[in-house]
Amino acid sequence: MAQALLQTPSPLLPTQGAPRQAAWNAKPPHLAFEAFEGLAPEPDSAQAPVPALADPSVFDEITAGLLQQPATISPKYFYDQLGSELFESITRLPEYYPTRTEHAVMQQHAAAIADAVGHGRTLIELGAGNCEKARTLCRTLAPACFVGVDISADFLHDAVARMREEFPGMDARAVGADMTRGVTLPADIPRTGRLVFYPGSSIGNFDPPHALMLLEQMRDLVDGEGEPHANGGLLIGIDLPKDVDVLEAAYDDAAGVTAAFNLNVLTHVNRLIGSNFDPAQWRHLAFFNTLQSRIEMHLQAMSPLQVRWQGGGVRDFAAGECIHTENSYKYTLPVFTDMLARAGFSRAQAWTDPRGWFAVVHAQP
Ligand SMILES: C[S@@+](CC[C@H](N)C(=O)[O-])C[C@H]1O[C@@H](n2cnc3c(N)ncnc32)[C@H](O)[C@@H]1O
């Protein structure tokens, strides 16, 4: 599903019809998941005492999504420690073109990008993950300060520690936070000269109204939260529309890593709400929704089943019923620059790869 900027599921969230069956994995995804079975949930976890449930707003958000018709789980819950590691593995798969294409665009146009964004800034990466792309940027931009923000806090802290080793003169900070609840930076982060970096086409995980709201929040950060002459900018990665086979393969790889990544959300949710999802009862589904110009990922129940969670919550699923776990919108450049303009970015410049698969866009208020 699209990530929501609001704590409760929004009426703006799209609904979708029954997904058509496409691009199944060669081997059943739950077999791919077995590679990580040491981290699989206890079958009876709804009965067992739950040591550390999520805070109440997370609990409410997840359970509200599970009770929706169709059920949804926000893609932000993919990212526990294992989810972050699985995503890192996805970026190295032959089918997953976005990471290597974006990286190639950034390297090929490094000098032009550096000229446009300027040196010595405060670099703020949202959804920073392993910070690999920021590392590439830091080599050319030499920012005075780097702030990585990510919901997967432990994974981020390790990545930022590696940044400190590589760039000892740079002030590198890690902020573990859910950016859809607003980003609060440490008070001593300079308000001028900020460059917000949002790579990986993660903006595509939000449906368009929420993507617009998020871009507006980024404009506020770039504006130094009201600082006059803030002189900030946004550098953002956009996955462009392309051949459906290329798109579907990227979200349904032959080795089953994306399937394992999708299924892992159930294990994470079990920990957060004390539920008893058994990932072996679900399979990964990914397809391109042409009408909405987005990849959709779902988890499909392979038999009729019941899921229970702490506090007495229960949801029955029929065989074939799905939980919508992710959207990834593919925007054309004109559509995306129009959205940037509506979010208050009046100037934009874009670089793409020779095939026109991915764009890196610099935007200023
Ligand atoms: C698709 S990965 C991209 C990682 C990295 N930026 C890249 O380009 O390779 C999305 C990243 O955003 C983080 N993330 C997802 N939802 C988030 C949220 N609501 N708040 C903060 N971080 C989030 C994930 O933990 C993950 O590291």
Residues 317-363: pLDDT tens digits? Answer: 999 999 999 999 999 999 999 999 999 999 999 999 999 999 999 99
Written as six digits, the tokens of 156 are 């981020």
Q: What is the pLDDT of residues 205-252, one digit of tens each?
A: 999 999 999 999 999 999 988 888 899 999 999 999 999 999 999 999
Q: Counting Cβ atoms within 10 Å, is residue 50 exposed (0-12), middle (13-18) or buried (19+)?
A: middle
Please give the distance, rounded to the nearest whole angstrom, from the Cα atom of residue 78 to the centre of ligand 1: 9
The residue contributing the CA closest to ligand 1 atom 16 is 76
What pLDDT shows up at residue 119? 87
Percent above pLDDT 70 for the chain: 86
- Each domain of the chain, given as residue ranges in start order, spans 97-183+190-241+333-345+355-364
Please choose from 73, 79, 156 the residue to mutate so as to test ligand 1's pocket, defined by most ligand atoms within 8 A of CB.
Answer: 79
| Residue 38, H or E segment | none
Percent above pLDDT 90 for the chain: 82
Cα(362)–Cα(360) distance, integer angstroms: 7
Contact 200 CB / ligand 1 (< 6 Å):
yes
Please give the distance, rounded to the nearest whole angstrom, from the Cα atom of residue 95 to the centre of ligand 1: 20
CA atoms within 13 A on the CB side of 48: 14
Task: Specify the ligand 1 atom closest to the Cα of 198.
Answer: 6
Task: Specify the ligand 1 atom closest to the Cα of 83.
Answer: 25
Contact 155 CB / ligand 1 (< 6 Å):
no
Report the Cα–Cα distance between both ends of the chain, in Å, rounded: 29
Please give the distance, rounded to the nearest whole angstrom, from the Cα atom of residue 19 to the centre of ligand 1: 25
Please give the distance, rounded to the nearest whole angstrom, from the Cα atom of residue 236 to the centre of ligand 1: 13
Contact 258 CB / ligand 1 (< 6 Å):
no
What pLDDT shows up at residue 20? 28
What pLDDT shows up at residue 127? 98
Cβ atoms 4, 210 nearer than 8 A: yes
Task: Specify the ligand 1 atom closest to the Cα of 156.
Answer: 27
What's the mean pLDDT in 122-139?
A: 96
At residue 3 the predicted structure's pLDDT band, cuts being 50, 70 and 90, is low
Contact 143 CB / ligand 1 (< 6 Å):
no
pTM of the shown model: 0.88
Q: What is the pLDDT of residues 107-120, one digit of tens each?
A: 999 999 999 999 88
Contact 86 CB / ligand 1 (< 6 Å):
no
Q: What is the pLDDT of residues 74-104, one digit of tens each?
A: 999 999 999 999 999 999 999 999 999 999 9
CA atoms within 13 A on the CB side of 58: 16
Given the candidates 3.40.50.1100, 3.30.70.360, 3.40.50.10490, 3.40.50.150, the CATH classification of the domain at 97-183+190-241+333-345+355-364 is 3.40.50.150
Find, among 4, 25, 10, the residue nearest to 300 by Cα.
25
**Worst-scoring range by mean pLDDT, 23-27, 194-198, 204-208, 252-256?**
23-27
What's the mean pLDDT in 15-20?
A: 29
Task: Specify the ligand 1 atom closest to the Cα of 130.
Answer: 5
Task: Specify the ligand 1 atom closest to the Cα of 129.
Answer: 27
Contact 328 CB / ligand 1 (< 6 Å):
no
Q: What is the pLDDT of residues 131-152, one digit of tens each?
A: 999 999 999 999 999 999 999 9
At residue 19 the predicted structure's pLDDT band, cuts being 50, 70 and 90, is very low
Report the alpha-carbon angle 17-76-266, nearest 5: 75
Instruction: Look up residue 77 and give its DSSP letter.
Output: G
At residue 2 the predicted structure's pLDDT band, cuts being 50, 70 and 90, is low
